[in-house]
Structure 1
């Protein structure tokens, strides 16, 4: 099969839309300020920039290593997988391909490295935890992925469970989604067992405190972000963690927290309406986009600069998130499914 026809079957054009990673970076920088305040449009743009980067990376890699040897899916995880990225976002991605690791892993690890470097140029910092397709842990054939997932579950340890929870948020951006879906079917079948769900819940036990006993907001007291609240840990994570566990339990493959809320609430009434609070958190973070100049900035909101309405919405979101998280943990750890 020729380069052109093989590429087209995986959603690639014969030629990339951009000639260089620097051109994609320029496009990103020129459009970011207009998009950063609108979470939905911003995440659609992130998808476009990353997809263009991957397309260009495939083009470069094929010119150096030859034709793609098999169909593959490039997928995103973390906030990118859930479509909850802020103005600044690092890399969290992987690859699943047809065939065995012995046959094709070396080729796709090389592609993963090209993607990693391309994304870094475009403005997505490399993941410090190495959750990238250039690392063997995150680049396998379908059966290789299944074997690794089984190993994570059998290990019954915090580290492997963390990898498993990260993978649950995977979403195909480029390539053959059927490959990722086959692995996800296996993951949900294995992770959906009551004993595994209980252990996964126990491994997502820590909840940062955002309100004191009097219902007042608790910002950071020291350091660069004194007076600001870590909205990622305190606000987003209770929703993200709870809905991920419920998605595993219900076999829901959607990666977006908001979509998970919509689907899960059909069977769990206590989840209904939580999407409103989660959207408020996304919009609150986006409202400070013009004051966010580095990756860490997007995780904080300055409490004293919040309007009365924003403070009220934030308090409600924190209370509802805490209730959602604690109730979900109680269900998962009781074994009363």
Structure 2
């Protein structure tokens, strides 16, 4: 691969920002995606990941504008009340790979309008379909603005969050963990600020929910055996491969998220959460190791195999066993998994202490 010229150190996002149609927007995303793929070998992983997520943010924001224009031409008129397009998951943390799927939602103003429900139901469906056309696989867990559970007015969102906080079941806690990474992409910022304030108040008022978060956090699949060897998949299409997402990436994300929420850190990015936590607890060797491990996890996610079908990107999330034969990579993976194990031992001690203190 030829090295990039100095004038090409950043992707040209203008094709995305000024796209007037879905076809132009798709062409812009594909052009930017191609640049990003060629840039990967020459950039630090955190810089490259930031550029990937700049692209995703621009595409999503422009997709919302294109949907508004399409609905207006279809006779729906402009948005009847303010709204905010938000993202969750890796998108909320600005950690998406080029082939990440959809994780989004809508927060709609509580202002009264007779066409509000009709408009935003149509908007959510159209936006999700458009994002799929642009190359973003639909979320298998249905965390999308096309789904009523993730497309609500601000007041409805507050009731939903309160309901999740009253029930400490695994699924409700999982939804709250997803929601805690919420980030605005487009629309009215006051709606997202009100949402975040309500979320923070509910978390601070519920020590039982904090313990439930911790209980979910410490549950993860085994990644090292008693001999310190990497545990790979035993059966199926990925036998012999390593599950990057659930083996190393998600355990680190969940652990750092829990610690950040405990310390009142409002960042959604895992790296920024780590930076803030390190400032609060200077000299913490485990946090420093977590930062190195997380950068390795980002690198491995970018190395996972992926496919493109009808323009839609999808990744298995697995590192092929052929990659595990590379000594340098295997050493970094073992080092990262050792950090994951130490972090989870520390959090398990917290959990045992918290559960002993329950009435």
Shorter-chain TM band: 0.7 to 0.9
Residue 6 of structure 2 is matched in structure 1 by none
C-alpha change, 1:102 and 1:248, in structure 2 (3 Å) is: farther
Separation in 2, partners of 1:83, 1:186: 22
SS of alignment partner, residue 280 of structure 2 = coil
Residue 59 of structure 1 is matched in structure 2 by 69
Shift of 1:141: 2.0
Residue 10 of structure 1 is matched in structure 2 by none
**What does 1:253-332 correspond to in 2, within 5 Å?**
253-268=266-281, 269=284, 270-286=286-302, 288=303, 291-293=305-307, 297-306=315-324, 307-332=326-351
SS of alignment partner, residue 315 of structure 2 = helix
* Preserved contact between residue 73 and residue 179 of structure 1 (Cα < 8 Å): yes
Superposed CA deviations along residues 238-292 of structure 1, whole A, max 9, x for unmatched, are 1111122122222222111111111122334342342222112112332x36x52
Residue 215 of structure 2 is matched in structure 1 by 202
SS of alignment partner, residue 293 of structure 1 = strand
Match of 2:87 among 41, 52, 76: 76
**What does 1:115-126 correspond to in 2, within 5 Å?**
115-126=127-138
* Preserved contact between residue 100 and residue 141 of structure 1 (Cα < 8 Å): no
C-alpha change, 1:105 and 1:273, in structure 2 (3 Å) is: farther
Shift of 1:100: 5.2
Match of 1:45 among 41, 48, 55: 55
Separation in 2, partners of 1:285, 1:160: 27
2:156 is equivalent to residue 144 of structure 1: yes
* Preserved contact between residue 171 and residue 255 of structure 1 (Cα < 8 Å): yes
SS of alignment partner, residue 31 of structure 1 = helix
SS of alignment partner, residue 266 of structure 1 = helix
Residue 5 of structure 2 is matched in structure 1 by none
SS of alignment partner, residue 252 of structure 2 = helix
Q: Tell which deviates more after alignment, 195-204 or 32-41.
A: 32-41
Separation in 2, partners of 1:305, 1:16: 37
Separation in 1, partners of 2:237, 2:295: 27
Shift of 1:200: 2.0
Separation in 2, partners of 1:17, 1:144: 34
Superposed CA deviations along residues 100-134 of structure 1, whole A, max 9, x for unmatched, are 58863432222111111110111112222221112
Separation in 1, partners of 2:24, 2:322: 39
Q: Tell which deviates more after alignment, 238-247 or 216-225.
A: 216-225
* Preserved contact between residue 72 and residue 97 of structure 1 (Cα < 8 Å): yes
TM-score, structure 1 length as denominator?
0.87
Superposed CA deviations along residues 280-313 of structure 1, whole A, max 9, x for unmatched, are 2112332x36x52256635111243243221111
Residue 31 of structure 1 is matched in structure 2 by 32
C-alpha change, 1:135 and 1:214, in structure 2 (3 Å) is: same
Unaligned ranges ≥5, structure 2: 1-15, 41-47
* Preserved contact between residue 101 and residue 140 of structure 1 (Cα < 8 Å): no
Unaligned ranges ≥5, structure 1: 1-14
Greater relative contact order structure (CA < 8 Å, 6+ sep): 1
Shift of 1:153: 1.0
2:36 is equivalent to residue 20 of structure 1: no
Separation in 2, partners of 1:148, 1:169: 16
SS of alignment partner, residue 322 of structure 2 = helix
* Preserved contact between residue 271 and residue 291 of structure 2 (Cα < 8 Å): yes
* Preserved contact between residue 82 and residue 169 of structure 1 (Cα < 8 Å): yes
> What RMSD over aligned residues (CA atoms) do the two structures have, in Å?
2.3
* Preserved contact between residue 219 and residue 229 of structure 1 (Cα < 8 Å): yes
TM-score, structure 2 length as denominator?
0.82
Shift of 1:171: 0.6
Separation in 1, partners of 2:70, 2:353: 52
C-alpha change, 1:245 and 1:32, in structure 2 (3 Å) is: same
Shift of 1:317: 1.0
SS of alignment partner, residue 91 of structure 1 = coil
* Preserved contact between residue 16 and residue 59 of structure 1 (Cα < 8 Å): no
